[in-house]
Amino acid sequence: MSAGGSAARANPALAPGTAAHQTNLQLVAGIDSEFPIRPGTRALSTSPMLVVTGAPLDLDVSRSGGTVKVRQGGVLLPVRPKSVLQGLPGFFRWKLLGADGSVVASADVDVCPMPGTVFTADAWHFNQLVNLDPANPATPAKSPYPQECGDPLSTHARWGFPNGWGAQFHVQVPDATPPGSYTLDATVNPDGVVREATRDDNHLRIPVEVIDLTSGAFAEQAAAARQRFADRQAAGMPRPGVAAPGAAPGAASGAAPAQVPGVTSDDSARQVDLPDLVPLPSENIATRHSGTADLLRFNSTMTNLGRGRLQVDGFRSGAPDGQMLAYQVLFHNGVEVARRPAGTLVFEADENEWHFDFLARYQLVDAAGTVVASSGKIGFCMADVHQVDAANPGFVTPDFTGFDGCGVAPSQSVREWIDPGWGDEYDQLFSEQALDITNQPNGTYRIQILADPDHKLREATRDNNTSLRTVVLGGQPQARTVTVPPIDGVDTEAAWAAIHRTF
């Protein structure tokens, strides 16, 4: 995954002392202009929209062991999220009522108030964040909050909605619900755990139609909506300064091919805010059978817990076909102070993007520490995907999280980074990326992740470049199982399963 856009350090809406009692959460009727992108055969004609007025919804989230705490304006709230990833428990409650008033379907939905991330519509039932009052001087022109909830192992996160902004909920109607006319009864913050000026606007009751997405024009609309979502998230979307797929090399913005910059060789003598690569222990772990092989797939998140941005610029000029020369850019107080060679980037045709080579190594080790399997994935496009430590002194709020900065085949240069306090998550989905456990007997193993194994990058320390996650293999050939004990008090597997991000 990759991210682009600048990062803003000044966040007035996040300033301590925000009057939480002035925050007002409202539910209003929205229009379901895009049908749900998740698999499903039902949609609502109208969905509620959450709107924040009066003052921003500003929440500080911290995790110690398995305990997650949420503060608003410095006040500890009476709520305990199951994990940082899952958000506020039961924050959105809805019931679908039949003509006789009977409850046809209902749900209490855990909500991470962070619309905009690539996961939100899939996990937390949000659509994109929208500025509903742009002509009002009190409404910020852009959201100052990270558009991402966090990882189950995040230690600090910022959640929030700006004043004057809103986002539409998607109500996931069960497929067995008969199409027809109903009443939707919905409430946000039903237990009052978030402090508000008033809760009078938290409830909405509206007539709705349940639509069958498998028939007629609605089926076409649903398919088109899902395709639009896939297109938005696909790597290789045209961006300013980057050639669109199929364009000739050097065609981006009419500019000449980028030239390799000068290299500052004495960067070690300069005052530098160094990044610090730290791989999180593996998560979202599962077995699957493919062809004749039993495989172990997993998520990996490479974090930057240093004070400076980890940035790598790549240039086609002077590089072999299918490669870019990579340069690490070093900063002090946000200003570039040096560049140094950092190996290569390679073009990954299957994903249509440029990957920084040998950023990580993934291995399965047995009880004796012997490597028994290795992943074929060694590089990826660096990006801000999960906020991991929002308390990091260098933490910034990116303009965008998700797919945006990996380049495409004809790109002449790319810029990839992980900002302080952020992590880049990858899913080892393909057979060559997963760990082959076909010939491994049942028992206890550990997934080992090594960051920058070839020491191509300069960072604050290498003492934390290895992570280990215990897994217990079981089952039979072609039907292997895996059990993953909690780590640091966190059941990461339950968290990922709860937001429907299992594989």
For 413-453, write each residue's pLDDT tens digit: 999 999 999 999 987 665 568 999 999 999 999 999 999 99
Residue 439: partners with Cβ closer than 8 Å, 6 or more residues away: none
Structure tokens given for 117: 């991330």
Residue type, 147: Q
| CA 501 – CA 38 distance, rounded (Å) | 11
**Residue 435 CB neighbours (<10 A):** 25
**pLDDT tens across 258-306, in order?**
556 666 655 666 799 999 999 999 999 999 999 999 999 999 999 999 9
Q: What are residue 71's DSSP bridge partners?
A: 60, 76
Amino acid letter at 133? D
pLDDT above 80: residue 154: yes
Tell me: the pLDDT tens digits for 466-491?
Answer: 999 999 999 999 999 999 999 999 99
Which two tokens mark 212?
Answer: 């069958």
Question: 180: closest CA among 160, 221, 148, 208?
Answer: 208
Work out the average pLDDT over 382-403: 90
The average pLDDT across 344-365 equals 91
Residue with tokens 């493919």: 290
CB 52 within 8 A of CB 208: no
User: pLDDT value at position 216?
Assistant: 75
Angle (CA) 478-479-485 rounded to 5° is 130
Question: Given this model, what pLDDT does residue 499 score?
Answer: 78
Q: What is the pLDDT of residue 239?
A: 34
How far is residue 300's CA from residue 298's CA, in Å, rounded to a whole number? 7
* Amino acid 46: pLDDT: 87
152 versus 226: the higher-pLDDT residue is 152
Q: Which residues is 487 bridged to in the sheet?
A: 490
pLDDT at res. 165: 93
Instruction: Give the mean pLDDT of the chain.
Output: 84
Enter the DSSP assignment of 371: E
pLDDT value of residue 232: 54
pLDDT digits (tens, 9 = 90+) for 300-345: 999 999 999 999 999 999 999 999 999 999 999 999 999 999 999 9
pLDDT by residue (tens digit) across 124-151?
A: 456 678 899 999 999 999 989 988 889 9
Q: How far apart are CA 478 and CA 481, in angstroms?
A: 10
Which fold, 273-498? Immunoglobulin-like (2.60.40)
Q: Which range (71-75, 89-93, 245-249, 253-257) has the least confidence?
A: 245-249
Rounded Cα gap, residues 36 and 273, in angstroms = 43
451 closest CA partner among 331, 301, 341: 301
What was the pLDDT predicted at 3?
34
- Cα separation, 127 vs 136, in Å, equals 23
pLDDT in tens, 293-312: 999 999 999 999 999 999 99
Predicted confidence (pLDDT) per residue in 76-91, tens digit = 999 999 999 988 999 9
Q: Phi and psi of 274, rounded to 5°?
A: -85, 145
**Pick the residue with more confidence: 243 or 60?**
60
State how far the Cα of 164 lies from the Cα of 25, in Å rounded to an integer.
10
Residues 6 or more apart whose CB falls under 8 angstroms from that of 464 comprise 276, 278, 305
pLDDT value, residue 256: 46
Which residue, among 308, 383, 378, has the nearest Cα to 344 in the 3D structure?
378
Confidence of residue 60 (pLDDT cuts 50, 70, 90): very high
Q: What is the domain partition of the chain in residue ranges?
A: 12-233, 273-498
Number of residues assigned to the chain: 503
Q: pLDDT band at 68, cuts 50/70/90?
A: very high
Residue 18 has pLDDT above 60, yes or no: no
pLDDT for 443 equals 98
Sequence-distant (≥ 6) Cβ neighbours of residue 294 within 8 angstroms: 287, 288, 436, 437, 438, 477, 478, 480
What is the per-residue pLDDT for 251? Answer: 36
Reported confidence tier of residue 400, pLDDT bands at 50, 70, 90? confident
C-alpha 206/C-alpha 88 separation (Å) is 24
Helix (H, G, I), strand (E, B) or coil at 492: helix
Cα–Cα distance list, 53 to 57, 75, 138, 201, 206 (Å): 9, 20, 10, 11, 21
Percent of the chain past pLDDT 70, that is, above it, reads 80
CA dihedral 474, 477, 478, 480 (to 10 degrees): 10
Average pLDDT over residues 53-66: 96
Confidence at residue 379, expressed as pLDDT on a 0 to 100 scale: 77
Instruction: Please give the model's pTM, rounded to 2 decimal places.
Output: 0.85
Residue 361: which of 292, 288, 461, 277 has the closest Cα?
277
End-to-end CA distance of the chain: 17
Q: In whole angstroms, what is the distance from residue 465 CA to residue 486 CA? A: 21
| pLDDT over threshold 60, residue 240 | no
pLDDT of residue 213: 84
Burial of 365 per CB tally in 10 Å (0-12, 13-18, 19+): middle
The larger pLDDT score, comparing residue 126 to residue 463, is at 463
**What whole-number distance in Å separates Cα of residue 74 and Cα of residue 167?**
25
- For residue 226, the model assigns a pLDDT of 63
Q: Which amino acid is at 109?
A: V
What digits encode the pLDDT tens for the residues 204-225?
999 999 988 888 777 776 677 6
